[in-house]
Structure 1
Amino acid sequence: MQQAATIDIASLTKKYGDDAVAVDAISLKIKAGTYCCLLGPSGCGKTSTLRMIAGHETATSGDIRLGDVVVTDLPPAKRQTSMMFQSYALFPHLDLVDNVAFSLKMKSVPKAERRAKALDMLKLMHIDQYASRRPAQLSGGQQQRVALARALITSPQALLLDEPLSALDPFLKVKMRQELKRLQRELGVTFVHVTHSQEEAMALADLVVVMSNGRIEQAAEPREIFHRPATAFVARFMGDHNVLAGKVKELDAEGALIEAPNGASFRIPGADHLVVGETAEAAVRRDRIAIGESPTKGLGFTGHVRNVEYRGGSMKVTLDAPGVEDFTVYAEESAFDSAPHEVGQAVPLSWSLADVHVLKPTAH
């Protein structure tokens, strides 16, 4: 394998026509040997970003650097990257060896050499025993391994994956996640993986890049994303925090008091950007909220139970409250069973100031 390369994106923009901005002047550095996941909802710009890195989409403006080379205007074959498409696109009439060796055939590598390299790649994927089979004779997971082998045989400096697990069933997705992580560790290649699955990104990535409306909301390690979401979008999209918002009413040594639109008040820690009279947003972890305990002033409220779901080991309790949108609590199963709450019931909710995380102002 070739040495992994750092991917450096500077002010990268992609427009379709005059008005449709798919990627909006993003800058990102993915260090060599990193497993990076581009994460976000449909239409956020993650696939357009991946395709521009690969050279399958032309950048409207900005630059892409792979190692020491600016590749922005280079064709895909000149970029030292390889892309694994969502459809796998295997040749049905070729056996696995010839499928994997196809790109080497296009480069006029002698038959014996390319077939030997293809067999080595199939061994790396633990499917060399199926070398003489054709794609239709394989399971979905085995077909994916063939597609990976074909993408890696050219010794790319970066492997680009477009939602590679989306077609697999839940059990196989978990298994293939482990395989992808194993491969990335063993090969040391830079992986850039597009997904809309929060769980997938958290399980795989060294670097999670959360995107929305063509922009990067946050780029950080998974634990940083989980514990300290940068914006209200990240807090909501990752699904582990509730967002409280309102005007800053007063500032003191302990932090700030914010007033929600319905008149309720919440305490939040201090932050440099907080100004009396301006809007502030803060996140509270769903699993750090107590149900049934009366709150101290500004550290809780009373909500009405809207829905209860069993999650296996915990209960997901969704509540309504004036001025608070989609407030959810993850309650430990045993604690909930000892004092269950029914739909329509009014219950007090409380949390500690240490579990409140101040968010950056929404820029767009």
Structure 2
Amino acid sequence: MTSGAEIELIKVTKRYGPALAVDSVSLKIPGGTYCCLLGPSGCGKTTTLRMIAGHESVSEGDVRLGASVVTDLAPAKRGTAMMFQSYALFPHLDTVDNVAFSLKMKGVEKGTRRAKAMEMLKLVQMDHLAERRPAQLSGGQQQRVALARALITDPQALLLDEPLSALDPFLKIKVRQELKKLQLQLGISFIHVTHSQEEAMALSDLVVVMNGGRIEQAATPREVFNRPATAFVARFMGDHNVISGRVSKKDGATVTFEVPGGASFVAPEDQAVEVGAPIEIAVRTDRVHLADSTLHGCGLTGLVQNIEYHGQRVQVALSAPGIDEFSVQVPETAFFAKPLSVGDAVPLAWTADDVHILQKSPTA
């Protein structure tokens, strides 16, 4: 298998008439990286993937694979392979001929291409079903065949468009483990489009969060979760509370800001924040503690709006003046030791170390 090459997008833009689908995106994906393009429907992630593959033309900018600019090359000449969401297997061909099809189109001799196809099927643990047709295979088995068919061309990067979306929850977990194992084994880059935060966190070395045709943040899963760049990332990744206000004071190591409801909070000092400027902070829902009294500037009293039992934890949704939504994740044992009810007023607290100041979104 060919070793992976770096993929670079250089101010890549895609327009459909007056509509801007991808807006001057620049990104470097190191060779051998599992990269997930993550975001809501319509954010530009699939269009970006298709421009890398060559299935969509680039309106402006360049796509580079290794040392080569591939912007204007046909898909088959790029050194990439695409695995489509629908799998697109030929129903009249058996498994081995489906996998070997691209080699047949290149004029490779039958015995050689079938031997290579069997090698790929063995790689994805499907060699024992080589003679079956797609209709005789489960969804997960069809997906492995599609994966083998994409890999038979020895790509430098494999592009996957929501490959797990058609699978049931239990099979999704099994297949994503196999995908990560395969990517490590092959040593090439996998670029995987998903709208599932859990999928991106579990699989990727690099998470690229997109919104409105732009990149909001590109970093490791842990960095994206612990230090979301913007309010959009914090909210989209989930498990974060975002509080918006305006800076009223800068005092040594802290910044004080007020929310419309009159409450004030503190955050770690940030040189970029000025008095009078708007500010947004994120606090993880599992770092907020039910407390007898709030810490100064690091807490609030909320009114319980909803309670959801999630097994290991209980999610408590609250409202407070000037704050639209606020949630707390409480360990199951702690919650049921002192249970709450809808309508209860609850003091909450966190520490200044659990506060993260957010940047302005590039799509704002």
State the TM bucket, normalised to the shorter chain: over 0.9
**After TM superposition, where is structure 1 displaced by more than 2 Å over at least 4 residues in a row?**
none
Partners of 1:129 and 1:61 lie apart in 2 by: 46
Q: Which SS does the other structure have where 1:145 is aligned? A: helix
Deviation per CA, 1:169-192, whole angstroms, max 9, x where unpaired? Answer: 000000000010011000011110
* Distance (whole Å) between structure 2 residues aligned to residue 33 and residue 299 of structure 1: 42
- Following superposition of structure 1 onto structure 2, how do residues 301-320 of structure 1 map, counting pairs within 5 Å? 301-320=300-319
CA distance in 2, matches of 1:325, 1:75: 49
Give the drift of 1:2.
Answer: 1.2
**Is there any run of 5+ residues in structure 2 with no aligned partner, and where?**
none
Gaps of 5+ in 1: none
Instruction: State how far apart, in whole Å, the 2-side matches of 1:325 and 1:4 are.
Output: 46
Secondary structure of the equivalent of 1:200? helix
- Name the aligned partner's letter for residue 117 of structure 1: K
The correspondence of residues 60-139 of structure 1 with structure 2, limited to 5 A, is: 60-139=59-138
> Which residue is 1:353 aligned to?
352
SS at the partner of 2:24? strand
Aligned partners of 2:63 and 2:69 also within 8 Å? yes
Check the 8 A contact 2:85/2:162 in 1, yes or no: yes
Give the aligned length.
363
Partner amino acid for 2:258?
E
CA contact (8 A) 2:216 2:361 kept: no
Aligned to 2:226: 227
**Cα distance in 1 between the residues matched to 2:77 and 2:185:** 25
**Residue 255 (structure 1) shift:** 1.1
Task: Find the aligned partners of 2:326 and 2:154 in 1 and give their Cα distance.
Answer: 48
Q: How does 1:195-206 map to 2 (within 5 A)?
A: 195-206=194-205
Residue in 2 aligned with 1:154? 153
Give the structure 2 partner of residue 167 of structure 1: 166
For residue 37 of structure 1, what is the aligned residue in structure 2? Answer: 36
CA RMSD across the alignment: 0.7
Structure 1 counterpart of 2:327? 328
Q: In 2, distance between residues paired with 1:279 and 1:293?
A: 30
Cα offset for 1:72? 0.6
Tell whether 2:18 aligns with 1:13: no
Cα displacement string for residues 324-350 of structure 1 (whole angstroms, at most 9, x for unaligned residues): 122111000000001111111111111
Structure 2 Cα separation of the partners of residues 29 and 37 of structure 1: 13
TM-score scaled by length of structure 1: 0.99
**Distance in 2, Cα, partners of 1:129 & 1:219:** 40
Once residues 316 and 353 of structure 1 are traced to their aligned partners in structure 2, the CA distance between those partners, rounded to angstroms, is: 22
C-alpha displacement of 1:123: 0.5
CA distance in 2, matches of 1:185, 1:362: 33
Query: Normalising by structure 2, what TM-score?
Result: 0.99
CA–CA separation in structure 2 for the residues paired with 1:244 and 1:232: 9
The Cα of 1:362 is off from its aligned counterpart by 3.2
- Could you tell me which residue of structure 2 aligns to residue 23 of structure 1? 22
